[in-house]
Amino acid sequence: MRRLLVALLLLFAAPALAQPFPVSIKVDASVQGLYGPLVYRVTVAAARQVDVRVRVNVIVPGGEQSGWKTLWEGSLGEGETRVIEAREDRVPRLGSYVIWVAVDFTSPRDFMVIGGRYYYASYDLVHVLTVYEPGAERWMQLYLKAFNDSERYRALYEDAAARLSSLSERCRALEAQLSSLQASYASLEANYSRLLGELEALRGQLSSLRTERDGLRAVLERAEARARELYTLSLALAALSLLLGGALAVLSIKPRWLRRVPS
């Protein structure tokens, strides 16, 4: 019985943390008198206009189940609340009663699609009522302690749910930042690849220019050597022309002693 209860609580606690349901459920239960029937009240509140169907399955101590039955079916407007009261006419047993309430709901915004067909969405809640032996003070104290613990655990659960919601918001914000950073990184990587290509092209041009410079330098050196040769040759020619000019000048002057003597 305890394992079944834990499994049911785990089954329906996770969806409540993750999804904003348009309906909320509250269950109150009690046993009327010493051997009276089990009476329970189901309160359903709607956050928006929905069509609902309230079903219940009561699991009595020992694991016997009443089977699913529909308590109420109809439409709830936004902010409307419906209280449904029902009873289990069997003789109460000592132990824990599990009242499993399922609220099926649908609206233009709320439904399930399975295999292309539309169905009601469902929100379930499990309520546990423990019936003790009359006059057992110890059991009553244990019950009160369990009740107080449940209230404390409920407060811890609500705090954990609020923290989970906050962490979920932060996670979504961080995911958005991560997507933006990834896009920026991809853009930078593309620019880096493009700049590397341009750098390789410039390196090729630089190598070509260096080769051309070395060729021009060799031509320049040869031209300078040729110019020095021509300069030396021109100096030699100038000296030779001076010598020839002097020689001609000397030859053009006739010495007096070479003049013809009269006969």
The string of pLDDT tens digits covering residues 216-241 is 999 988 988 888 888 888 888 888 88
Distance separating alpha carbons of residues 23 and 189, to the nearest angstrom:
50
Token pair belonging to 197: 């290509």
Confidence label for 16 from pLDDT (cuts 50, 70 and 90): very low
Confidence label for 49 from pLDDT (cuts 50, 70 and 90): very high
Closest CA to 53 of 15, 104, 19: 104
- Higher per-residue pLDDT: 43 or 261: 43
Distance separating alpha carbons of residues 36 and 30, to the nearest angstrom:
10
Q: Could you tell me whether strands 117-119 and 112-114 are parallel, antiparallel, or unpaired per DSSP bridges?
A: antiparallel
Greatest alpha-carbon span in the chain: 195
The string of pLDDT tens digits covering residues 210-219 is 999 999 999 9
Distance separating alpha carbons of residues 209 and 244, to the nearest angstrom:
51
Distance separating alpha carbons of residues 196 and 164, to the nearest angstrom:
46
* 51-65, 130-144, 173-187, range with the lowest pLDDT: 130-144
Q: Residue 134: its pLDDT value, please? A: 57
110 in Cβ contact with 50 (< 8 Å): yes
φ, ψ (nearest 5 deg) of residue 37:
-75, 160
Look at residue 6 and tell me whether its pLDDT is greater than 50. no
Distance separating alpha carbons of residues 10 and 20, to the nearest angstrom:
18
H or E stretch at 153? helix 137-252
Confidence label for 15 from pLDDT (cuts 50, 70 and 90): very low
Stretch 60-85: mean pLDDT, rounded? 90
Stretch 32-44: mean pLDDT, rounded? 80
The string of pLDDT tens digits covering residues 110-169 is 888 889 898 888 899 999 987 765 555 566 677 788 888 888 888 998 999 999 999 999
Of all residues in the chain, the percent with pLDDT exceeding 70 is 82
Contacts of 146 (CB under 8 A, 6+ apart): 130
* 144-153, 192-201, 253-262, range with the lowest pLDDT: 253-262
Distance separating alpha carbons of residues 49 and 52, to the nearest angstrom:
10
Closest CA to 125 of 52, 22, 54: 54
Stretch 70-75: mean pLDDT, rounded? 94
Of all residues in the chain, the percent with pLDDT exceeding 90 is 39
| Residues pairing with 119 in the sheet | 112
* 140-144, 160-164, 186-190, 194-198, range with the lowest pLDDT: 140-144
5 in Cβ contact with 96 (< 8 Å): yes
Q: Residue 14: its pLDDT value, please? A: 44
Distance separating alpha carbons of residues 241 and 253, to the nearest angstrom:
19
28 in Cβ contact with 66 (< 8 Å): no
Distance separating alpha carbons of residues 18 and 165, to the nearest angstrom:
8
pTM recorded for the entire structure: 0.44
